[in-house]
Structure 1
Amino acid sequence: MTLKTALWLVSGLLSLVIAGSAAAQEVTSRLTVMTYNVENFFDAEDDPRMPNGSSNEVINTPAWVSAKAANVARVIQRFDFGRGPDVLVLTEVESQASLEAIKGALNNAGAAYVTAVLLDADPNRPAPKPDQRGIKVALLSKLPLASGFTPRSFPVDLTKASDCKSRDGAAGTTRDLLQVDLALPDGKTLTLFGGHLPSGGNPRVCREIAAQTIATLAAKLPQSHVILAAGDFNFNCAPEERKGLAAAFTGWVLPAQLDNACRGSGSQFYGREKTWSYLDVITQKASGSSQDWTIDPKTFRTVLTDNEQLQWDDRDQVMRPKAFRFNAETGKGSGTSDHWPIAIDLVRGGK
């Protein structure tokens, strides 16, 4: 081997090492966060604690669960050029079995998602009770849990709000909030609050109480935490709704698209009023170590990765989210959910 050839090989190896180091640095300097309402993902088992019926627990067949999981998983897996999100908040997930069905349908049985969290909520506990359908908030993450942390859930207390009542006049219920602390690549802690706030059928004050609960919990955390909240917050595009969202999250970063004034796109289309809304939200508390890792508002996007997410609505002349439907005769499912997911990049050091 000549000296020239040896130098060329060394130079090439150094280039590969430098390029590899740069790629690794790029990976650890950018994370993707997604939230996805997967629409009534009930499992195939009866939870004896829950009432059954059209507005309560639904017991699906194993074939339904498998088909739904496969369609939802395709949307997740194809995101970010096939890498999938680094952190994923899922709403309307009934159980650990439902979460494992989604995880199992991902490539390599979701092995990249080292953290999978869903906390059970006893429907018969004293008020404030959780959602009486049994749907919950779950999380999948490629980041491990922060050292010594155990995931926690928090009830949203609607009992003192006279407007927040259930159909039978009892105190209002909604999904518990989920808190998960994750270890970021540089050793800092990412605290993520997952929420599914009271639906649009409830007065705005009910959503405001739930949003303020998240903000209050976040205010108690150390300044060293990077703090995000994500999920289906159910604030629609109406001006007073957007004001309520902004007021509850004063001092937080809210992407501009969330305030769409009932114009343009969103994560769900409301046929009765013919409006788009970003019911789904990702926001960040802008203080402390949140300056080290920041969401980049320019990267906020609706996640459309699969044809089964799309359905043309002849009546309203819009392409809207395609809800999942299962054909028991063929064993095949179509559609995914009545929401489109949203995502945003979390960037280290403003890079």
Structure 2
Amino acid sequence: MTHREDQFTIAFYNLENFFDTHDDPHTLDDDFTPDGRKEWSESRFRKKSKKLGRTIALMGKDYSSVPPVLVGVAEVENKIALDAILGTKSLKEVDYDYVHFDSPDERGIDTGLVYHKDHFKVLDAEIIPLLISNGNGDRDYTRDILYVHGRLNEEEIHVFVNHWPSRRDGADKTEYKRIKAAETVLNKINSLESENPNIIVMGDFNDDPNSKSIQTLMDSGLFVNPMQHLLSPATGSANYKGEWSLFDQILVSHSFLNYQKGTHSFKKAKIFAPKFLKEWKGKYKGNPFRTYVGKKYLGGYSDHFPVYVVLKENR
């Protein structure tokens, strides 16, 4: 495998409830405090920070000579949690910064975008509220969509980081919320001034590549979903009751299929699932090695594998 100077990794990682240890009086984060149900202590927080830092540092290492230039994250509580990851031994030498806004999610978990300052410059960033209601007409306070407009090695790109509403009350019953999320992303794209913009839509969509919400994005004709073929009965990014799903995906616009000088072309898409991120024995062998199962502390990384794409800079 070649370590290519002209290849860059763009990743997405659901960090599985990565909270700091402090109680935020405005959110439902009490479980994740030292006295809470999960006994979330400073040492557990530090251990997890180290593990996540190591994982991010290694993503795409087989294809690129630099650590990931963009990493979208979900289920991160705040800047304290992001700073802890970026301050770990694995990442502190990398010139990383991030975009993060607090979202109205009732548990206080947000999305964020970590970026490599040598390769990416933020031009503009905002949150796009996802305005959906529950069956009773009350607003469902869920994660905002994070939109970042920037330059990747001088080429302008538009990045959307998503963590769409969960299936907790049933996949069919909640489907309309995720379709609405897809429509919200498309509305923003339609308002962009640029011609044929370079767009990356990444996230934990709580839906597979063939679900209606993802098809809503695909029906716009703007995207290629390179993750489509990565889901099989034996592989995915998360496993629930013995079934693999691929809720974690990165879609790229067709503009990443060109080879013009100064642009980036899509090379490959991967689920990052090395041995150390997996359960190594027992009936869950091969599944993501989680931090918790219920309130039982396992000390793993996350209940999701990260995913990434490799882009080649055309020089």
TM-score by length of 1: 0.74
Output the CA distance in 1 between the equivalents of 2:227 and 2:75.
Answer: 26
2:24 alignment partner in structure 1: 47
Instruction: Indicate which of 275, 278, 284 corresponds to 1:310.
Output: 278
Q: Which amino acid aligns with 1:304?
A: A
Output the CA distance in 1 between the equivalents of 2:205 and 2:291.
Answer: 21
Structure 1 residue 107 corresponds to structure 2 residue 90? yes
Structure 1 residue 336 corresponds to structure 2 residue 310? no
2:287 alignment partner in structure 1: 320
1:135 alignment partner in structure 2: 109
Output the CA distance in 2 between the equivalents of 1:33 and 1:59.
Answer: 34
2:182 alignment partner in structure 1: 211
1:181 alignment partner in structure 2: 149
Structure 1 residue 64 corresponds to structure 2 residue 35? no
1:144 alignment partner in structure 2: 120
Instruction: Indicate which of 298, 301, 304 corresponds to 2:270.
Output: 301
Output the CA distance in 2 between the equivalents of 1:43 and 1:190.
Answer: 31
Q: What SS does the aligned partner of 2:305 have?
A: coil
Sequence identity, in percent?
25
Map Cα deviations across residues 99-145 of structure 1 (whole Å, 9 max, x no partner): 001111153515322x3111123xxxxxxxx2100000011111332
Q: Which amino acid aligns with 1:153?
A: I
Output the CA distance in 1 between the equivalents of 2:175 and 2:99.
Answer: 29
2:72 alignment partner in structure 1: 89
Q: Which amino acid aligns with 2:73?
A: L
1:282 alignment partner in structure 2: 250
* 1:71–1:293 Cα change, 3 Å: same
Output the CA distance in 2 between the equivalents of 1:49 and 1:290.
Answer: 45
Q: CA deviation at 1:73?
A: 1.0
Paired residues for 1:233-312 under 5 Å: 233-236=205-208, 241=211, 243-250=212-219, 251=221, 252-257=223-228, 260=231, 263-271=233-241, 274-287=242-255, 291=258, 292-296=263-267, 299-305=268-274, 307=276, 309-312=277-280
Output the CA distance in 2 between the equivalents of 1:213 and 1:110.
Answer: 37
1:5 alignment partner in structure 2: none
Runs of 4+ in 1 over 6 A off after TM superposition: 55-59
Instruction: Indicate which of 168, 172, 183 corresponds to 2:140.
Output: 172
Output the CA distance in 2 between the equivalents of 1:106 and 1:38.
Answer: 18
Q: Which amino acid aligns with 2:99?
A: V
Q: Which is richer in helix?
A: 1
Q: What SS does the aligned partner of 2:250 have?
A: strand
Map Cα deviations across residues 53-74 of structure 1 (whole Å, 9 max, x no partner): 4499988432222111001111
* 1:345–1:259 Cα change, 3 Å: closer
Output the CA distance in 1 between the equivalents of 2:46 and 2:32.
Answer: 22
Q: Flag structure 1 segments of 5+ consecutive residues without an equivalent.
A: 1-22, 122-129, 327-331
Look at both structures and tell me which one has the larger radius of gyration over its CA atoms: 1
Paired residues for 1:66-81 under 5 Å: 66-81=46-61
2:195 alignment partner in structure 1: 223
Q: What SS does the aligned partner of 1:300 have?
A: strand
Q: What SS does the aligned partner of 1:145 have?
A: strand
Map Cα deviations across residues 305-343 of structure 1 (whole Å, 9 max, x no partner): 451x11146446x510011159xxxxx973100000011
1:154 alignment partner in structure 2: 128
Q: Is the 8 A contact 1:225 1:290 kept in 2?
A: no
Give the paired residue count: 291
Q: What SS does the aligned partner of 2:87 have?
A: helix
Output the CA distance in 2 between the equivalents of 1:173 and 1:345.
Answer: 34
Q: Is the 8 A contact 1:75 1:306 kept in 2?
A: no
Q: Flag structure 2 segments of 5+ consecutive residues without an equivalent.
A: none
* 1:256–1:133 Cα change, 3 Å: closer
* 1:120–1:228 Cα change, 3 Å: same
Instruction: Indicate which of 72, 94, 99 corresponds to 1:117.
Output: 99
Q: Which amino acid aligns with 1:233?
A: F
Q: Is the 8 A contact 1:66 1:101 kept in 2?
A: yes
* 1:30–1:135 Cα change, 3 Å: same
Output the CA distance in 1 between the equivalents of 2:240 and 2:247.
Answer: 11
